[in-house]
């Protein structure tokens, strides 16, 4: 607020110098006195005097109206120093709307008012004012301010449009700008573009959260294969080490069209002793090889499942799969075992071998 008050104070005489009409000597002297009081810290007095003079001169001739606008500016400066941004913004709004004020000066007051509205927590009005200002001016810093404000107000679609302009005007985005851009792209449904942002920035130095976020975005963008690949790479780099990370890796490979990789990861974990060779794991391994249409591996594991469970349905499953893949000898043996365990459907299948 102190910084803004300084801007308003500094710009007063720039405003006077650009006046299209001359000001009477007594008005100039009064403005000078008020500026000195403002610089000396007499904020209450300046705010009160500025408001009174602005109202008194508002209905006069062109010179009076211009003076009224300048008094509004002084009052705004005093109120900003007093940490009353909403009232200060109101004075600037009146100043810039004064009849006869030039477009360039009005634009400066509009931008200052936007800063005050933002300081007052009136983000909606600040967004409207900054948008209006940027329609005729080009300022990258202000554009990023607008983008951030829109994001804070969850105006994602509008923020995405302004973001495109901001990126075009920025040579190298800093870390905060990148994070903001990513959030806006995600919330505006532009997951594919957000994913490109993340993937381009990923490296062996990236942390686990970056890899997780990239994989999640790939899923949301309908790129299951990429999600699996990203998670797998993070796993290999040692970024993801928790048990739940491993099981999600398996799920992603199975959903992403790389079931053979899921099966390979399961077998590696079994060999290392990281997971138990129980029924659940064997079924997952068997279905993964089956999904990958790796015949020998799938039949071998399905047989292991049936041997471990001694369940008629598992023997039948193994036999039917072997038959479908042309392994008739294995199929007959498996279906015979199922039939011996009381599976009627397996008995019917055995008729194919008579």
Long-range contacts of range 101-104, CB-CB < 8 Å, 24 or more positions apart? 101/65, 101/66, 101/69, 102/18, 102/20, 103/136, 104/18
Per-residue confidence (pLDDT) for residue 147, from 0 to 100:
94
Indicate the pLDDT class of residue 7, thresholds 50, 70 and 90: very low
Residues 63-117 have pLDDT tens digits of: 999 999 999 999 999 999 999 999 999 999 999 999 988 888 888 889 889 989 9
pLDDT given for residue 32 in this prediction: 87
pLDDT-derived band of residue 50, with 50, 70 and 90 as boundaries?
very high
Look at residues 111, 73, 65 and name the one whose alpha carbon lies nearest to residue 92: 73
Per the structure block, which two tokens stand in for 80?
């900003």
Domain assignments of the chain as residue spans, ordered by start = 1-114, 122-164, 209-257, 274-354
> Residues with Cβ < 8 Å from 303, sequence gap 6 or more?
318, 330, 334
* Residue whose C-alpha is closest to residue 31's, from 5, 56, 62, 68: 68
**pTM greater than 0.75:** no
pLDDT digits (tens, 9 = 90+) for 157-193: 999 999 999 999 998 888 788 889 888 988 888 888 8
What pLDDT score was predicted for residue 70?
Answer: 92
Candidate CATH numbers 2.40.50.140, 3.40.190.80, 1.25.40.10, 3.40.50.300; the one for domain 274-354 = 1.25.40.10
For residue range 271-318, what is the model confidence (pLDDT) as tens digits? Answer: 999 999 999 999 999 999 999 999 999 999 999 999 999 999 999 999
For residue 9, pLDDT over 70 is answered with no
């Amino acid at each position: 607020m102190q910084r803004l008050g300084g801007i308003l104070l500094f710009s007063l005489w720039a405003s006077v110098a650009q006046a299209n009409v001359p000001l009477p000597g007594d008005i100039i002297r009064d403005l000078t006195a008020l500026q000195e009081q403002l610089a000396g810290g007499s904020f209450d007095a300046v705010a009160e005097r500025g408001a009174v003079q602005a109202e008194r001169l508002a209905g006069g001739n062109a010179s009076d109206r211009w003076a009224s606008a300048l008094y509004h500016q002084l009052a705004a400066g005093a109120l900003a120093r007093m940490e009353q941004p909403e009232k200060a913004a109101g004075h600037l709004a009146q100043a810039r709307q004064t009849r006869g004020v030039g477009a360039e000066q009005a634009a400066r007051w509009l931008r200052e008012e936007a800063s005050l509205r933002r300081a007052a927590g009136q983000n909606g009005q600040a967004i409207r004012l900054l948008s209006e200002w940027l329609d005729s001016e080009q300022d990258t810093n202000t554009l990023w301010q607008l983008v951030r404000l829109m994001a804070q107000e969850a105006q994602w679609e509008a923020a995405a449009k302004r973001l495109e302009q901001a990126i075009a005007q920025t040579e190298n985005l800093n870390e905060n700008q990148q994070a903001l851009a990513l959030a806006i792209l995600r919330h505006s449904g532009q997951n594919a573009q957000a994913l490109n942002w993340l993937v381009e920035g990923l490296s062996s130095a990236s942390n686990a959260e970056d890899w997780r976020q990239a994989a999640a975005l790939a899923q949301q963008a309908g790129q299951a294969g990429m999600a699996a690949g990203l998670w797998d790479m993070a796993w290999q780099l040692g970024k993801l080490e928790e048990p739940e990370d491993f099981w999600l890796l398996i799920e992603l490979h199975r959903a992403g069209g790389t079931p053979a990789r899921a099966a390979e990861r399961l077998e590696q974990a079994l060999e290392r002793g990281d997971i138990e060779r129980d029924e659940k794991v064997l079924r997952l391994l068997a279905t993964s090889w089956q999904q990958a249409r790796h015949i020998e591996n799938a039949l071998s594991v399905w047989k292991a499942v049936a041997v471990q469970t001694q369940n008629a349905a598992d023997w039948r499953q193994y036999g039917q799969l072997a038959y479908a893949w042309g392994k008739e000898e294995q199929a007959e043996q498996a279906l015979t075992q199922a039939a011996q365990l009381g599976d009627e459907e397996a008995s019917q299948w055995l008729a194919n071998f008579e």
